[in-house]
Structure 1
C-alpha cells in the first residue's frame, strides 16, 4: 500500500519543468515590497507604543507579510509581477501620505516564520529552476551570512564539532525516517543516503577549513568555483556522470554522487554568504544603508548576467551566480527600505 502510494507521488512530481529566473526574481522582490508595506503601514497607523502591542504586530505582519506571499505563490502566481508593482505603489502612497514618526524595525517586533517552501522535484535540469532549488541555495548563503566567520569570530575545534554534529545527527534522523515511512524522495536530488542536512554539515566544515588557509575571501571564492566548475565538472566530465540515466549504484560514493559532487558549489555559496555578511555588518554598524544597497545592487547585476544552463543538481557556476544575484537583489531592496 505504502509502496504504491509512494510510486504515485513520485510520478506526480516527476518530469516537471521549472520556471525562469525572471519569474523567480519577481517572487523574491515581492518579499521586499511586503516588508516596505509593513514598515509604512506601521508608521501610518502611529499608535502609541505599537511595538509593545504584540497582537497588533501579529495582525499587521500577517496581513502585509504572510498573506501576500501565500497569494503570490498560489492563485496569483501568474500575476506576480503586477502584484508586487501594486504593493510598491500602495506602500509609496502611504509613505507620502504620512511623515514617519519613528523608525520601525521588524527585528524588535514579534518574529514569525515566513519561509515559503515549494516542492517541485525533478525539474528540467537545464535552463529552468524552481523555487525549491532557489530555497536551498539561499539557505546556504544565509548560513554563511550568520556564521562566526562573517562576524570574524574565532571558534575552537569543540564549538565547530558541536555545530556540525547537530546537522549530521539531523541528516541521519531524516534518512532513518524517510526510509522507515517510505517517504517520497528522488535519488536524483542528493542520492540514496545523502540529504540537505549532510550537505550543510560538510559545507560548513569545508568552508571553515578553507578560511583557515587564507583570509582573502574573493580569491577563495574564485578558486573554489574554478575548481568545481572547470576542473571537476568540465575537465573530469563529472557533469556527464551526474546527468547520466544510469541507475546502477555500485558503492557509497556512486549511490550518493549528486550530493557529494555538488558540495563544491554549496561551499562557494557559503563563502559568498560570509562575504555578504561582512559587508552588511560593516555598513550597518556605520549606518551606511545606501552604500550597502548600492554594493549589493551592483553585485546582483553582475551575478545575474552569468545565467546559462543553471542546474541545482550540479550546483554549477550559473546556479551559484543566479542564486547569489537574487540574494543580493533582496538584500539591496531591504537596505534601501531600511
Structure 2
C-alpha cells in the first residue's frame, strides 16, 4: 500500500470522538422497525411463504439494505427511515387480520406428567425466532460497518472513538460479545437440567477451547495478513498484535475457568457487575488507566498489546451479562401452574426490567445523576464499567423489542409448549435471510473480513463518490447474503 495513502487511511479512523447515544439508538432502531414490517407482511399476508423471488428481494431490502442505508445515506435522518418502515407496518396491522389458523390457535393441552418431565430435559429448550432475529441483525450491522467505515459515506461519528465517547461501532463490538454470552447460556441450562451430572471443569475447558480454536486461528491469519500486506491499521484499538478475534477466542475457555464461582454467586448479573466494578476500581485507584492510554509502548508483548489485554476484562463482564440474560429468556418456562402466555409475559418483564436496571446503573456511572453519579466517560478502548453497562442495557432493550414483535405477530410460537409442529411455527416466524446469517455467523464474519481487505486493497475507498461507495456496499451486502443463504441451503452451521 502506498505510504501516503496508508497514512491517510489511518488518520481517517483515528482521533474520533463519536456521537450521541440518542442518535445511535435511532439508527439501531431501524433493525426492529424492519422486523416490524417483515412481521406484518408475513403474519397478515404470508408474503414470505412460499419464498418466491419477490419475497427474497423484499427480505433483503428490509433486513439487510435498511441497515446499510441507516448507517450511510440516511445517517443524518434515521427517524425518516424508521417512519418509512413503521408506517406501512402499522397500517397493515390495523387494517387486516391474520389468517384463520392464527386467529383461532388451539389452546395448549393440559400438560401430563411426561410433558412436565420433558420440559426439564435439555432438548426441551425451544428455538426462539426473536433471538435468531436479534443475533442476525447484530451480525449484519457488524459486517456492514467493517467495510462502510472505510468510505466517506459512513459518518465519522459512527466509527470507533479514540479514547472517550460513544459510537455505533463501539456499541457493535460490545454487542457481538453480549450476543455470544446469550447463546452460551444453553450449555449452562443443559447442565442444570434434572438428573444431569455437572461436567468436570477439565472437560468443559477442552470443549470450549475446541470451539475457540477457529477464532484464534482467524486472529493469527488476520495478524499475519495485516503485517504482511502492510495494511492500514489502528494500533490504539487493540494493540500492535492483538485483534478482536483473539478476544472472541479467549472468552469461552476463560468463562469456563471462572464458572466455578457461579456455585458461590449464582447470579451471573452479580458476577458481571463484580468484574466490571473491580476493573473500574483498578483503573481509578492505580496507574493502570494512564498506562493503557498514554504510556510509551515498551518492548514487552504486554506493553505492545495492553489495550487488548486489559479491555478483555470489560468484554468478559459483557459476556457474563449476556449469559445472565440468556439463562432467563431461553428456557420454555412453562409448568403445570404456569401457562405459555404467562411464561412469555415473564420473559418480556425480565427483559424490560433488565434493560431498565442496566440503564439506571449506566446513568449513575456516566453522569452526575443529580449529584450522586460518578460521571465516568464511556471508553471502548478501556472497556470500562460505563461501557459494559451501556452495552448490557442496549442489548436487553433490543431483545425486548424483538421479543415483543414475535409475541404480537406470531403468538402460536410461544402458546404451544410441545415439540410437535415447532419447526413449522418457527420457520413461519423467521426471516430466511436472518436465519441464514445466524446459522453461518462464523463463516460470514470471515468472508466479510476477507472482502473488506480485498476492497481496500483494490479500491481507493477514501476518494470514491457516495454513489460509487453505495454501489460497492450494496454488492458487498448482496455477496454476504448469498454466502449466508448458500451455507443454509447446504445445511452448514458455523455459528459464533
TM-score (ref. length: structure 2): 0.62
Asked if the contact 2:37/2:85 (under 8 Å) is kept, the reply is yes
Q: Which piece of structure 1 moves more, 89-98 or 294-303?
A: 294-303
Asked if the contact 1:171/1:197 (under 8 Å) is kept, the reply is yes
Deviation >4 Å, runs of 4+: 105-108, 283-287
Corresponding residue for residue 356 of structure 2: 301
> Does 2:140 match 1:114?
yes
Q: Which piece of structure 1 moves more, 268-277 or 111-120?
A: 111-120
CA separation of 1:294/1:90 partners in 2, compared to 1, >3 Å: closer, same or farther? farther
Corresponding residue for residue 332 of structure 1: 400
Q: Which piece of structure 1 moves more, 301-310 or 170-179?
A: 301-310
Corresponding residue for residue 225 of structure 1: 276
The offset of 1:271, in angstroms, is 0.5
Gaps of 5+ in 1: none
> Does 2:317 match 1:268?
yes
1:78 match: secondary structure: coil
> Could you tell me how far apart the structure 2 residues matched to 1:66 and 1:161 are?
32
The match for 1:168 among 182, 192, 216 is 216
> Could you tell me how far apart the structure 2 residues matched to 1:145 and 1:323 are?
13
Corresponding residue for residue 229 of structure 2: 181
The offset of 1:150, in angstroms, is 4.7
The offset of 1:283, in angstroms, is 5.0
Gaps of 5+ in 2: 103-128, 150-155, 192-198, 335-339, 367-376, 407-496
> Could you tell me how far apart the structure 1 residues matched to 2:79 and 2:29 are?
9
CA separation of 1:70/1:98 partners in 2, compared to 1, >3 Å: closer, same or farther? same
| Number of equivalences | 331
The offset of 1:223, in angstroms, is 1.9
**CA displacement 1:222-253 (0-9 Å, x = unmatched):** 221222111x2122231122121x44322110
The offset of 1:267, in angstroms, is 0.5
Bigger Rg over Cα: 2
CA separation of 1:182/1:69 partners in 2, compared to 1, >3 Å: closer, same or farther? same
> Could you tell me how far apart the structure 1 residues matched to 2:381 and 2:67 are?
26
Q: Which piece of structure 1 moves more, 270-279 or 303-312?
A: 303-312
> Does 2:289 match 1:239?
yes
> Could you tell me how far apart the structure 1 residues matched to 2:174 and 2:188 are?
17
Corresponding residue for residue 90 of structure 2: 92
Corresponding residue for residue 203 of structure 1: 251
Q: Which piece of structure 1 moves more, 186-195 or 88-97?
A: 88-97
Asked if the contact 1:191/1:255 (under 8 Å) is kept, the reply is yes
Asked if the contact 1:134/1:323 (under 8 Å) is kept, the reply is yes
CA separation of 1:150/1:335 partners in 2, compared to 1, >3 Å: closer, same or farther? farther
The match for 1:281 among 330, 341, 348 is 330
Corresponding residue for residue 70 of structure 2: 72
**CA displacement 1:262-284 (0-9 Å, x = unmatched):** 11111101011111111221257
Corresponding residue for residue 179 of structure 2: 142
